[in-house]
Amino acid sequence: MAPHVEVRAGVAGPVDDFVRTAGPPPSLPSDPVAAFDELYLWQARALTRQAYLLSGHRRVAELAVRWAFHQAWQHWPKVLAAGDPARTVRATAYDYALSPWHRFHPRRRSPDACPGPPEDRALLEAFLGLPRSYRAALLLHYGLGLTLPETAAEAECSIEAAAGRVTHGRAALEEGWPTLARTPRRQRGAVLARTLRELAVAQPVRPVPPRLVRRGSLRTTRLWTRASVGLTATVAAATAFTLMTTDTGRPPKSPAPVPRTFAPATFPGEMEGRTTRTSDTGGAGETGPGGRVHEEHAERGEPADHAYLPQLRSTNKRVEPHDFPQAVPGGGRNS
């Protein structure tokens, strides 16, 4: 990493503080509240300025830092057990500041006006035009002075991926910021690091007291708890109402049976033996299955519109030989 050179007058102290907060914080007290307050006072200002470089909005930067410390206080035992609370809080703030959802806010579609010389505004516009992963890698490597392995650990990627993000990000920044392109190649890293740090510390920051951050974290936890309980109660009530109003004890009604009609059977040769019947009015009748059906209904005394049903069982009666009349000599029959 190139050394810090050519610092503007009046910003040497803030720049040193900005870089120093990237390292591990001093030993924290054993009391949870005191440890949280000390970490917040150690990192809040520098982290807000870093979030501003990543998002281009002061309001988003303040919300990112507040959200990061809210999450840290809610899981403070786990944050301390991880061994590096400053890195945990910084990763959460970076994720919030780089979230793409901010662009849907009407007031956050364009970056805030950057107070300062035109060169700083040009750098900020070119820096915000880079992909999110490039911005984070450049800020960690050049702005905070982390090595490539440390940058890869912060970005949760391999060292090769971190090196590629840094290299391609700086190449893209050279195209959008002519000052960096005109600088000799060996000095570009130092110029970029110095300018990013000076641009960050030039932003006015007014962090809220740590007690308000802890109080806001507890309020957020209570709101989420109440919302979860309310949602659970609503789902339970809707389920109970559905079970009470739904009739599940009766079987579904089967559809009414459709009456079936049968057409009279026609066998080969039967049509030839049918005769033509003349109607009562003297008109010519028709030969066919319909006429025979009407005649059969008339013989059985059934109405003509009665459906024809085939005879499935024989109606023959059992008879004996002596039931038939016997022939007598002379051509007569016994009665």
- Of residues 134, 130, 170, the one with CA closest to residue 155: 134
Query: Given a cut of 80, is residue 169 above it in pLDDT?
Result: yes
Output the six-digit token pair for 316. Answer: 């023959």
% of the chain surpassing 90 pLDDT: 34
H or E segment to which residue 39 belongs? helix 32-55
Say which range, 104-118, 132-146, 227-241, has the weakest mean pLDDT: 104-118
Other CB atoms within 10 A of residue 323 CB: 8
Q: Measure the CA–CA gap between 216 and 233, rounded to whole angstroms.
A: 26
Confidence of residue 209 (pLDDT cuts 50, 70, 90): confident
Alpha-carbon span 184 to 139, nearest angstrom: 21
Q: Cα-Cα-Cα-Cα dihedral of 110, 129, 91, 107, to 10°?
A: 10
Q: From CA 43, how far away is CA 65, in angstroms rounded?
A: 9
Residue given tokens 């840094």 in the structure block: 166
Indicate the pLDDT class of residue 21, thresholds 50, 70 and 90: confident
Q: Which amino acid is at 285?
A: G
In angstroms, the CA 146 to CA 248 distance is: 67
Q: Which amino acid is residue 5, in one-letter code?
A: V
Which pTM does this prediction carry? Answer: 0.61
Tens-digit pLDDT profile for residues 29-42: 889 899 999 999 99
Contact 274, 287 (CB under 8 A): yes
Yes or no: say if 146 and 64 are a contact pair by the CB < 8 Å rule: no
Give the residue-averaged pLDDT of 92-101. Answer: 91
Which one has a higher pLDDT value, 216 or 77? 77
DSSP state of 325: P
Lowest-confidence range among 116-120, 121-125, 154-158, 262-266? 262-266
pLDDT at 150 over 90: yes
**Which residue in 136, 188, 196, 142 sits closest to 165, CA to CA?**
136
Closest listed residue to residue 127, CA positions, set 176, 58, 86: 176
Task: Average the pLDDT over 43-47 and give the result.
Answer: 92
116-201: CATH topology: Arc Repressor Mutant, subunit A (1.10.10)
Question: What's the pLDDT score for residue 112?
Answer: 65
With tokens 């060292």, the residue in question is 159
Question: 280-314 in b/e burial notation, b at 16+ Cβ within 10 A?
Answer: eeeeeeeeeeebbbeeebeeeeeeeeeeeeeeeee
Domain with CATH 1.10.10.10 in the chain: 116-201
By mean pLDDT, which of 21-35, 150-164, 186-200, 230-244 is the weakest?
A: 230-244
Mean pLDDT: which of 178-182, 287-291, 298-302 is highest? Answer: 178-182
- Helices 118-128, 188-201: axis angle to 10 degrees equals 100
Cα 330 to Cα 213, 323, 333, 334, 335: the distances in Å are 137, 21, 9, 11, 14
Residue 121 has pLDDT above 80, yes or no: yes
Provide the CB-side half-sphere exposure for 108 (13 A, CA).
19
